[in-house]
């Protein structure tokens, strides 16, 4: 195990890039060597994000001006559809952790269907590992390319994968009602995320067509060993960060709410970042803000035979940058919790 690894971040001026920098500043083995942001090239990082101005960081540069030769790992925080060609051009010795959706879908035909263009690096896709540490830790450990899950899939899958593996819920009954803070839409200017448009309301988007749906279905199908299709609907809520997922599902024949609680307790009892709350305990985004934690809660519905399954996380940390660093720790043999032990900020 090396003492320091040299790190590059592509797209460092986005929200996920900024949180990567924030978390890396407290990591004893991360040395930030290259930060790219084409729209802010030539600027100090602290000029773009003043709250991080006290950290000694390299200036932002364009991607084409970066020297990758001395780096050990690169985090890609670029928009979907731009990462594949860039990753394919990187030196082979550099490990890559991609925070976009460009390597999440294992089937390149499914990728084309949902993202509207050919996969530009199918030869790399074959070796990409889905970066959900609690369920793919062994694969991540030996990977050179890790595809970090989307924020919605992370919250949904941490709840559902153990239940699908144990066959405790009916695969045809799953309804995922998901809500995210506005940072999930990125830092670019969009009408629906303007304060006047989003500040005092909640809106639905991506109805019956959000690109996280096939990602969720891919992983649930793998867990069950049979095709799974879900109803997935995301919403924007007027807060900066945080995510709350309410999932409704019918019990499989003979299963009970006690079986579900026991299954989740067994799955996550030794996991540092996942916690199943006691029956009736309050669960909300305010209890995970700024942390790499994911809270789970299960209750029995008043409708007979139906389970209410709740999960919450910070979309920029466990849903993105924190999970990326968790993957990096596994890949380099570091203690998995390094740089990620910050407790939630409350209130």
With beta carbons less than 8 A apart as the criterion, state whether 181 and 193 touch.
no
Identify the active-site residue in 76, 151, 263, 294.
Answer: 151
Q: Is residue 197 within a helix (H) or strand (E), and if so which, with residue range?
A: helix 195-198
Compute CA distances 74 → 19, 20, 42, 162, whole Å: 15, 11, 20, 31
- Check if the beta carbon of residue 289 is closer than 8 Å to that of residue 208: no
Closest CA to 163 of 101, 40, 245, 248: 248
C-alpha 166/C-alpha 153 separation (Å) is 19
User: DSSP 3-state assignment of 246?
Assistant: strand
Contact residues for 231 (Cβ-Cβ < 8 A; gap 6+): 174, 175, 176
Strands 294-300 and 306-313: antiparallel
DSSP string, 21-49: HHHHTT-TTEEEEEEE-GGGTTS-HHHH-
**DSSP SS3 for 274:** strand
Judge whether 331 and 141 are in contact, CB under 8 Å.
Answer: yes
Q: Is residue 263 annotated as part of the catalytic site, yes or no?
A: no
Q: How many residues does the chain have?
A: 347
C-alpha pair distances (Å), 25 with each of 52, 182, 300, 338, 339: 9, 25, 42, 11, 8
> Secondary structure of the chain: what % helix, strand, coil (to 5)?
35, 20, 45
Closest C-alpha among 29, 42, 213 to residue 114:
213
Residues taking part in catalysis = 151
């Amino acid at each position: 195990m090396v003492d320091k690894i040299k790190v590059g971040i592509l797209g460092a001026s986005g929200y996920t890039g900024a949180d990567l920098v924030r978390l890396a500043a407290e990591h004893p083995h991360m040395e930030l060597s290259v930060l790219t942001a084409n729209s802010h090239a030539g600027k100090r990082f602290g000029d773009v994000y003043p709250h991080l101005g006290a950290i000694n960081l390299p200036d932002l540069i364009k991607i084409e001006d970066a020297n990758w030769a001395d780096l050990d790992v690169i985090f890609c925080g670029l928009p979907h559809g731009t990462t594949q060609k860039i990753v394919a051009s990187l030196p082979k010795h550099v490990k890559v952790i991609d925070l976009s959706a460009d390597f999440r879908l294992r089937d390149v035909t499914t990728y084309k269907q949902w993202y509207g263009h050919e996969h530009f690096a199918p030869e790399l896709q074959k070796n990409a590992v889905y970066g959900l540490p609690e369920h793919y830790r062994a694969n991540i450990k030996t990977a050179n390319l890790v595809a970090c899950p989307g924020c919605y899939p992370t919250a949904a899958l941490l709840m559902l994968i153990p239940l699908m593996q144990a066959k405790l819920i009916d695969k045809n009954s799953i309804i995922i009602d998901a809500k995210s803070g506005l940072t999930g839409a990125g830092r670019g200017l969009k009408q629906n995320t303007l304060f006047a448009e989003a500040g005092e309301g909640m809106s639905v988007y991506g109805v019956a067509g959000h690109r996280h749906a096939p990602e969720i279905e891919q992983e649930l199908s793998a867990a069950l060993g049979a095709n799974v299709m879900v109803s997935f609907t995301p919403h924007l809520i007027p807060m900066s960060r945080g995510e709350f997922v309410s999932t409704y599902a019918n019990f499989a024949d003979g299963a009970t709410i006690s079986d579900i609680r026991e299954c989740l307790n067994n799955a996550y009892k030794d996991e540092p970042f996942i916690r199943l709350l006691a029956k009736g305990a309050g669960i909300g985004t305010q209890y995970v803000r700024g942390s790499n934690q994911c809270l789970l809660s299960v209750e029995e519905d008043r409708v007979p035979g139906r389970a209410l399954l709740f999960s919450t996380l910070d979309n920029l940390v466990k849903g993105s940058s924190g999970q990326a660093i968790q993957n990096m720790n596994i890949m380099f043999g570091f203690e998995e919790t390094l740089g990620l032990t910050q407790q939630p900020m409350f209130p």
